[in-house]
A and B are shown apart, each in its own frame.
Chain A
Amino acid sequence: MSLLNFLNRRRSAPVARERLQILLAHERAVHGHRDLVAILQEEILAVIAKHMAIEREKVQVKLDRGKAVSTLEIDIEMPDLAQAAAAAARH
């Protein structure tokens, strides 16, 4: 083993640092967005619930991260309006 190899073998901390920086940049993006989706779903539900009864699973929030474009997809399945209004009036 040459002297250079020997020195490089010992200096493993820079490798650790670089691996962590790459990994954490990725993980922070994933966890950050997961939280965003959960928050959006809760807040959208709360707004709709002010006006009509709606089931939790009728509001779907999806986030797709692409290289050029990211999309936020919000899918709200409306309940039958007459029924929902009657239900709200009963509360």
Chain B
Amino acid sequence: MAKVLVVTSGKGGVGKTTSTASLGAALAQGGQRVVVIDFDVGLRNLDLVMGAERRVVFDLINVVQGDAKLAQALIRDKRIDTLSLLPASQTRDKDALTSDGVAKVLAELREKFDWVICDSPAGIEKGATLAMYHADAAVVVTNPEVSSVRDSDRIIGLLDSKTQRAERGERMEKHLLLTRYDSARAARGEMLKTEDVLEILSIPLLGIIPESEEVLRASNIGAPITLSNPASAAGRAYFDAAKRLRGEDIPMTVPVERRGLMGKLFGRRVA
């Protein structure tokens, strides 16, 4: 039974697209059939982060409006054959997305994949509400920072009231993904701790992604970090989060960068 997951946050720039690509890739690397969908019409970026920007021919709106078949718009990842991408339109208006149209596309994707992961745009407008409306579960991406936590609280409220599940009186499964976390600063009292954010938002924790230089490097080269550097701290944190999504009981830790002898000597990555 396929699961539709929305990756959302309210605030922009907290790591929704990075997390969509990394969780999607991690699940696919584990043998699951995964499709990631970009809902950010007009400001698409999931294609770029996944290194597929030059392969986009048709997009979500083309499929919704019947101008292209789903199979024509799906881009199969060249590195992991169980991973596909459905890009957003860069030129069209977001009003071209309708709830019925999205529902039809999602129903078709549920037949073909184990996981359908929707990368929500920032904000609480139509694009964001459409991305969450049909979801079975949500990953709320949050930075340990006041404005991000506040916006996440607002998004959690919307997940509990403005989704199909909420309207039917069903429970919406929600997971917190804490990103850009710096354990040392949290320990010194300079940054909100995991427990602080959990206490305020009171939804279960899916994972803690440490602040890592490798995340920028991964987006620079257009590869999810679980592919570009699976051994990095952030890469391992995403693998753990993906396993928890599949129901595995993985102890919650904040991975730290492993440094070889050269790295220790020179204090940074050598390669």
Contact = CB atoms under 8 A, between A and B. Distances in A.
B200 A20 contact: yes
A13 B196 contact: yes
Interface string A18-36: 0111011001100110010
B107 interface: no
A8 to B, nearest CB: 9
Contacts, number: 42
A17 B192 contact: yes
A27 B154 contact: yes
A3 interface: no
A35 B188 CA distance: 40
Given A20-B200, A21-B200, A27-B154, A11 B189 contact: yes
Contacts of B188: 10-11
A31 B157 contact: yes
Given A24-B200, A35-B161, A10 B153 contact: no
A66 interface: no
Contacts of A23: 150
B241 interface: no
A71 interface: no
A10 B184 CA distance: 13
Contacts of B153: 24, 27-28
B189 A14 contact: yes
B186 interface: yes
A60 B189 CA distance: 49
A32 to B, nearest CB: 8
B32 to A, nearest CB: 35
B193 interface: yes
Nearest to B201: A24
Contacts of A28: 153, 157
B191 interface: yes
Interface in B156-181: 157, 161
B86 interface: no
B190 A10 contact: yes
A32 B158 CA distance: 10
B189 A12 contact: yes
B200 A13 contact: no
A84 B188 CA distance: 69
Interface in B116-170: 145-146, 149-150, 153-154, 157, 161
B147 to A, nearest CB: 10
A5 to B, nearest CB: 14
A70 to B, nearest CB: 20
26 contacts: A10-B189, A10-B190, A11-B188, A11-B190, A12-B190, A13-B186, A13-B191, A13-B193, A13-B196, A14-B189, A16-B145, A16-B196, A17-B192, A17-B200, A19-B146, A20-B146, A20-B150, A20-B200, A21-B200, A24-B150, A24-B153, A24-B200, A27-B150, A27-B154, A31-B157, A35-B161
Q: Which 10 A-B pairs have the closest CB atoms?
A: A11-B189, A17-B196, A13-B189, A16-B146, A24-B153, A13-B192, A31-B157, A20-B200, A16-B192, A35-B161
